[in-house]
Amino acid sequence: RKEVEQDPGPFNVPEGATVAFNCTYSNSASQSFFWYRQDCRKEPKLLMSVYSSGNEDGRFTAQLNRASQYISLLIRDSKLSDSATYLCVVISGGGYNKLIFGAGTRLAVHP
Amino acid sequence: ETGVTQSPTHLIKTRGQQVTLRCSSQSGHNTVSWYQQALGQGPQFIFQYYREEENGRGNFPPRFSGLQFPNYSSELNVNALELDDSALYLCASSLWGQGFYEQYFGPGTRLTVT
């Protein structure tokens, strides 16, 4: 079983739609959680951190459920520029910042 | 731009050859991590260097090795290349310390092994 699993996608949605991505992680000792965005043939970039209390950044909302070991990302009012692959990322400790990535979910927003 | 640079951008090698990839970290960062991203997959952690020493390693064989230099730049060396080594190799620089410090990724080196 992979340490971080995501919906494989792709998600094809029209502009203005609301889309939700899910992610589960297997290590209950995981400490930190993030969503990264990766554009085609580019490097991953940090989109937002994820906290148990939930956090929001404009049209993006991230949630963490430690009991279920589940992470989500909600994108409201999708824009064409949101088209990318969204990577769920976990840090499981071990004394160093080893990022554990899911395989990513591809989002395509169309006019 | 993150300020992290990698060279070369693309590389084609033959099975059995050796390759060296290079990474210059962002100014002020002292830690470099290397990741391998196969097509359609998320990046996989190879190893991390801090103060010129390996500071953690993922599930990669010993033919993957690295170095960090006093200026915090780093090299990834892969010996005896295999077809499955074809991937995007990403380096990420960060500060070392308590808690999470964001890792900034370079644009990657795309390695093709034929």
Tell me the CA distances in angstroms from A6 to A12, A49, B12, B20, B44, one per residue in order: 16, 17, 31, 32, 15
Q: What is the pLDDT of residue B79?
A: 98
Cis peptide before A10 (omega within 30 of 0): yes
Mean local confidence (pLDDT), A59-67: 95
Residues of A in contact with B44 (CB under 8 A): 101
Residues of chain A with Cβ-Cβ distance to B41 below 8 Å are 103-104
- pLDDT exceeding 70 applies to what percent of chain A? 96
Question: Which of B45, B50, B102 is facing A100, going by the closest CB pair?
Answer: B45
- pLDDT of the residue at B39: 93
Instruction: Say whether B56 and A43 touch across the interface (CB within 8 A).
Output: no
The pLDDT score that the predictor gives to residue B15 is 98
Count Cβ neighbours within 10 Å for each residue of B80-101 and write b for 16 or more, e otherwise: ebeeebbbbbbbbbbeeeeeee
pLDDT of residue A93: 67
Q: For position B96, what pLDDT does the model report?
A: 78
Pairing of strands B74-78, A99-101: unpaired
Q: Quote the pLDDT of residue B102.
A: 82
Mean pLDDT of B61-65: 97
Contact B42 A46 (CB under 8 A): no
Nearest to B100 among A32, A95, A102 (CB): A32
Q: Which residue has the higher pLDDT, A97 or A31?
A: A31
Q: What mean pLDDT value characterizes chain A? A: 92
Question: Which residue in the block uniquely carries the two structure tokens 């390693």?
Answer: B57
Q: What residues contact residue A86 under an 8 Å CB cut-off, 6+ apart? A: A6, A21, A35, A36, A37, A38, A47, A73, A104, A105, A106, A107
Collapse the DSSP code of B24 into the 3-class scheme (helix H, G, I; strand E, B; otherwise coil) and give the result. strand
Residues B75-100, mean pLDDT to the nearest whole number: 91
pLDDT confidence tier of residue B100, bands split at 50, 70 and 90: low
Determine the pLDDT at residue A95: 62
